[in-house]
Structure 1
Amino acid sequence: MGAHIAVLAVPSAGHVYPTLPLVEELVRRGHRVTYATGPAMRDAVAAAGADPVVPDAPWAKVAAAPSRTTEDVAETLSGALEVTRAVVPQLTAVFGADRPDVVCHDALTPFGPVLACLLDRPSVATVPTFAGNDVFDPATLLAPAGFDPAHPRMAAYAAEQARFAAETGVPAGILTSVGRQADRKLVFLPREFQIAGDTFGDDYRFIGPAFGSRAGTADWTPPPEPVLFVSLGTVVNDRPGFFAACVTAFAGTGRRVLMAVGDRVDPASLGPLPANFDVRPSFPQPAVLAHAAVFLSHTGMNSTMESLLCRVPLVSYPQTPEQEANGRRVEELGLGRVLRTAEPAVLRRTVDEVAADPAIRAALDRMAGYLRAAGGPPAGADAVEELL
């Protein structure tokens, strides 16, 4: 008889997509999965075999945006707390009447550990980016320059958090513990990519990334030429100047340039497009990466891991502190390069050098071995079943 497993995540592609192959594996093993997230991800979780639950909440408050100041950080944290206040009573009612055996929650989704605590259920944190422990704290990489934890706005957030904890009876630090209190932590990176990876204990399982069924669902025909894939992801992509620089840099080259500009940049604003360009709001990323020679990317962690799954070298043009940290790690491990400018001549030269670099190719092959050894969704499902 299968178990009932609750999965919870904010409705962001970078947080939901990494969990879907795990959901598919749990369902394949006969478990029932109920997935709580926002409306933007309802169809994706249903396609993975889960029963979607979509609470009514101000989901725009948790839309990721660059945190360039201390006030930005405080605003993001307060928005997440507002969503948590709205969501927790609804999910307590849903899962109180249909109790899960295990609660799996995104490590950066604050209502996840709150629900696990209130239901007194064993918990699994799913970690889509760098994990943290007593040795390595990801916040040291992700905080904006000049971050001031004593800023009045941060103090106001701390007071809000304390009030919420007192009202609900959960530990005061549960909202900002980055999943560390969970019984198991499933990290969608190989240990070899994790910073200070050898300092994490057995409660952290570095299972690596996977495409799951997303790899075979695209209705897309690859071009005959080598592919340069350009994308800044789904969140911080309103960068018409960058995309225009790419048009200048790669016009008339021997590559087919597939450029995903998002839904806030009008391709017409880029001027006449060269014949070797295909510009759209989005592309089926797993399918494109399977045929790409280089990925010019923001290096969000999900995109970074998907590129490594396909052994595609990365040229990083980060837009947020988190993406900058990912790009630096890519460069440290010899898997690609980080751009400091979007000047067209630099763009073209860097992409050409990365595509032709045998050391980068060798590093990608090594990383592919680590990805295979990580175990993927079966290893993650094993860790969940340990708690049943």
Structure 2
Amino acid sequence: MAKILAVGGFGAGHVNPMLPIVRHWMENDDEVHFFCTEDMRQKVEAAGITFKAYPSFIDGQAQGEINFFQFVIILLKSADIILPVVLEEAAKHKYDFVFHDSLFGWGKLISHILKIPHIASHASFASSSETKKAPSAEPGLGKGGVLLEEIGQLAEALGQKYGVPAPTIPEVFSQWGDLNLVYTSRYFQPRPETLDDSYAFVGPVISTRQDPNDFPFYQLDDRPLVYISMGTVVSKGEDFFRLCLEAFPDPRFQVIVSAGKKADLSFADEAPDHFIFRSHIPQLDILKRTSVFVTHGGMNSTSEALYFNIPLVVIPHGADQPQVAARVTGLGAGIKLSPRNLTAESLRSAVDELMETAAYKTSAETIGLSLREAGGVQAALEEADRFRRLHGIPSGEVKQRT
């Protein structure tokens, strides 16, 4: 069968959607080598996939703390960190195609160097040269002009080193493929008409996870459930969690808070009985019971909530989160709050409005239906199988997934 080079992105949100697809290929006797940062080793190897590390290049910086131009520079510099590692290993193997994250890892460039076709995995909304525009260096962007000069120099050096045209900013930000798997629906994707037929909207990849089984489900009852998860953005401090305690003193709701593995949960001892704080939550099981989801607007979590028809309070901090929040609110499925102006009163008011206004639930159900009908893992496998046959790459049977 085929030998596949997989290049994952930075963080679980970029890796999780790729794993069920890769697992299926391996079940059909493909050989897959999965390159990613060391912190993803356990997750990848737990799926039975051969893991190979490339060095981390973000050094603990959160995307919300980096402006647009700084992030482009980080991505451009990452080429000299990632490419030598991947290409050294590729010289030992004859890969049939590349399966890569569309933002991190330089999969498009790797496929060009190796002269093999490639499939891009879009962990957020899809973008191409037609949809991804860089902001101009206006006075309000401070050092934008200086940073743009550095970006130009780095892009030119990269192009000369690997014998390709210097990548534009849209090309740095979106490594689109010969086939593009987008884990959302055409309905939820902004401006889908600007994307060509290489973009397949397969919906979120909802798959079984090996989550901890110590969650106290026995404590849940028939009260409306508010689930709060802000990713790793606020996991280093207590302020947001104390704000949640202040926002929901009334036990008419049950409130579950996913605090993150780095959070100090000692303060939770003073929480009232209708609160449950945990460092990790079996998210899919909780979402099935949730009435309102309070989130930072990460694409995976947002898609999973909408898949289960749940309206959202979105508090975006950075990266693609403002765009996700805009789409949620634009389609009437939630309310956006500013993290800078967030108060207990504004959070409680937003949750009350979502609970009391049926239109939000109806809009979430419309999006949810579009996500479920997109097909998920099965649709992604079928699109990949067509890609493989088109390029003369051996492919096993695409079995119906449950």
- Identity within the alignment, %: 27
The answer to whether the Cα contact below 8 Å between 1:4 and 1:33 also exists between their aligned partners in 2 is: yes
Amino acid corresponding to residue 378 of structure 1 in structure 2: Q
Q: Identify the residue that residue 274 of structure 1 maps to in structure 2.
A: 272
* CA-to-aligned-CA distance 1:85-106 (integer Å, 9 cap, x gap): 1221121121221222110111
Q: Hey, what's the Cα distance between the residues in 2 that align with 1:74 and 1:134?
A: 17
Q: Within 5 Å, give how 1:95-110 maps onto structure 2.
A: 95-110=90-105
Q: Which of 304, 307, 310 is matched with 2:302 structurally?
A: 304
The answer to whether the Cα contact below 8 Å between 1:15 and 1:128 also exists between their aligned partners in 2 is: yes
Q: Hey, what's the Cα distance between the residues in 2 that align with 1:88 and 1:235?
A: 29
- 1:359 is displaced (CA, Å) by 1.5
Q: Which of 82, 86, 106 is matched with 2:81 structurally?
A: 86
Aligned-partner SS, 1:172: coil
Residues 354 and 144 of structure 1, relative CA distance in 2, 3 Å threshold = farther
The answer to whether the Cα contact below 8 Å between 1:61 and 1:76 also exists between their aligned partners in 2 is: no
Q: Hey, what's the Cα distance between the residues in 2 that align with 1:145 and 1:42?
A: 43
257-266 vs 369-378, which moves further: 257-266
For the pair 1:172 / 2:166, whether they are aligned, the reply is yes
For the pair 1:156 / 2:145, whether they are aligned, the reply is no
* CA-to-aligned-CA distance 1:97-137 (integer Å, 9 cap, x gap): 12221101111114222211111110111111121235432
Q: Which of 118, 124, 132 is matched with 1:123 structurally?
A: 118
100-109 vs 160-169, which moves further: 160-169
Amino acid corresponding to residue 159 of structure 1 in structure 2: Q
Q: Identify the residue that residue 379 of structure 2 maps to in structure 1.
A: 379
Q: Identify the residue that residue 399 of structure 2 maps to in structure 1.
A: none
Residues 74 and 137 of structure 1, relative CA distance in 2, 3 Å threshold = closer
Residues 20 and 145 of structure 1, relative CA distance in 2, 3 Å threshold = farther
Q: Identify the residue that residue 9 of structure 1 maps to in structure 2.
A: 8
- 1:284 is displaced (CA, Å) by 2.3
Amino acid corresponding to residue 108 of structure 2 in structure 1: P
Q: Which of 169, 178, 186 is matched with 1:183 structurally?
A: 178
Q: Hey, what's the Cα distance between the residues in 1 that align with 2:233 and 2:111?
A: 29
- 1:235 is displaced (CA, Å) by 4.1
Q: Hey, what's the Cα distance between the residues in 1 that align with 2:305 and 2:242?
A: 23
The answer to whether the Cα contact below 8 Å between 1:114 and 1:175 also exists between their aligned partners in 2 is: no
Q: Within 5 Å, give how 1:1-388 maps onto structure 2.
A: 2-55=1-54, 57-61=55-59, 63-67=61-65, 72-133=67-128, 135-137=130-132, 139=134, 146-147=140-141, 151-173=145-167, 176-177=170-171, 178-179=173-174, 181-214=176-209, 217-219=211-213, 220-222=215-217, 223-224=220-221, 225-235=223-233, 237-238=235-236, 240-269=238-267, 272-320=270-318, 322-340=320-338, 341-385=341-385, 386-387=387-388, 388=393
Residues 243 and 116 of structure 1, relative CA distance in 2, 3 Å threshold = same
Aligned-partner SS, 1:105: strand
Residues 90 and 241 of structure 1, relative CA distance in 2, 3 Å threshold = same
Gaps of 5+ in 2: 394-402
The answer to whether the Cα contact below 8 Å between 2:306 and 2:365 also exists between their aligned partners in 1 is: no
- 1:259 is displaced (CA, Å) by 1.0
The answer to whether the Cα contact below 8 Å between 1:252 and 1:275 also exists between their aligned partners in 2 is: no
275-284 vs 260-269, which moves further: 260-269
Q: Hey, what's the Cα distance between the residues in 2 that align with 1:171 and 1:365?
A: 45
Q: Give RMSD over aligned pairs.
A: 2.7
Aligned-partner SS, 2:63: coil
The answer to whether the Cα contact below 8 Å between 2:108 and 2:175 also exists between their aligned partners in 1 is: no
Q: Hey, what's the Cα distance between the residues in 2 that align with 1:325 and 1:145?
A: 23
Q: Hey, what's the Cα distance between the residues in 1 that align with 2:178 and 2:61?
A: 27
Q: Hey, what's the Cα distance between the residues in 1 that align with 2:32 and 2:233?
A: 27
Amino acid corresponding to residue 348 of structure 1 in structure 2: R
- 1:309 is displaced (CA, Å) by 1.6
Q: In the comparison of the two structures, how many residue pairs are matched?
A: 381
Q: Hey, what's the Cα distance between the residues in 2 that align with 1:354 and 1:275?
A: 23
Residues 315 and 169 of structure 1, relative CA distance in 2, 3 Å threshold = same
Aligned-partner SS, 1:380: helix
Give the TM-score normalised by structure 1. Answer: 0.89
Aligned-partner SS, 1:26: helix
Q: Hey, what's the Cα distance between the residues in 1 that align with 2:241 and 2:211?
A: 27
* CA-to-aligned-CA distance 1:41-75 (integer Å, 9 cap, x gap): 112122333211112x243348542156xxx3343
Gaps of 5+ in 1: none
Amino acid corresponding to residue 112 of structure 1 in structure 2: G
